[in-house]
Amino acid sequence: IIKNVCDEWYTEPTLEGDDYIDYCIQFCKTHHIDVFIPRRKLVEISKHISRFHAIGVKVMVDQYELIETLNRKDRAYHLFKDSTSIHVPEFYVVTSKEEFEVAYDKLSKKYAKVCFKLVQDEGGLSFRTIDPTVSKTSVLRSYPSTKMTYDAVMEALNTEETFHEMIVMPYL
């Protein structure tokens, strides 16, 4: 939908941090952009929004503090857990295989499905659902999936002693 309302559409280079912000600023100047609708790096862009405003560019992004909180699923869940209008599921933040096993065990006894993702993720790239019906050979016959067996998850987690924070929950 966003692509349909843009005057132009470009593929971005893979850049991080200040290099990415500098690229965006220069792009806006070069292409005379009035309104910038970012898809990636919302936290970084919102942190540097004054640089965009200084060159006359409006940015379709919320304030840094809010975006930074919402970008971390655990912080967002803590922010909304006492809300009467938003239901926050039971969740656990884990950084080791052992913690993951405990969280999975607790959740799988109460809920039909358990899913997980990195606490800090962009676009749900790391989101996975544990599904015992997935066959090991299904990956050979279909497109990549967000579904994994518990054994496949454990095998992947066995490769690291600790890992980036992950949130384990019955649903997003």
Instruction: Per residue of the chain (172 residues), give pLDDT as tens.
Output: 567 777 777 888 889 999 999 999 999 999 999 999 888 899 999 999 999 999 999 999 988 888 888 888 899 998 898 888 888 999 999 999 999 999 999 999 999 999 999 998 877 889 999 998 887 777 677 777 889 999 999 999 998 888 899 999 999 7
Contact 165, 118 (CB under 8 A): yes
pLDDT for the residue 1: 56
Cα gap 4→7, rounded to integer Å: 8
Question: How many CB atoms within 10 Å of residue 153?
Answer: 18
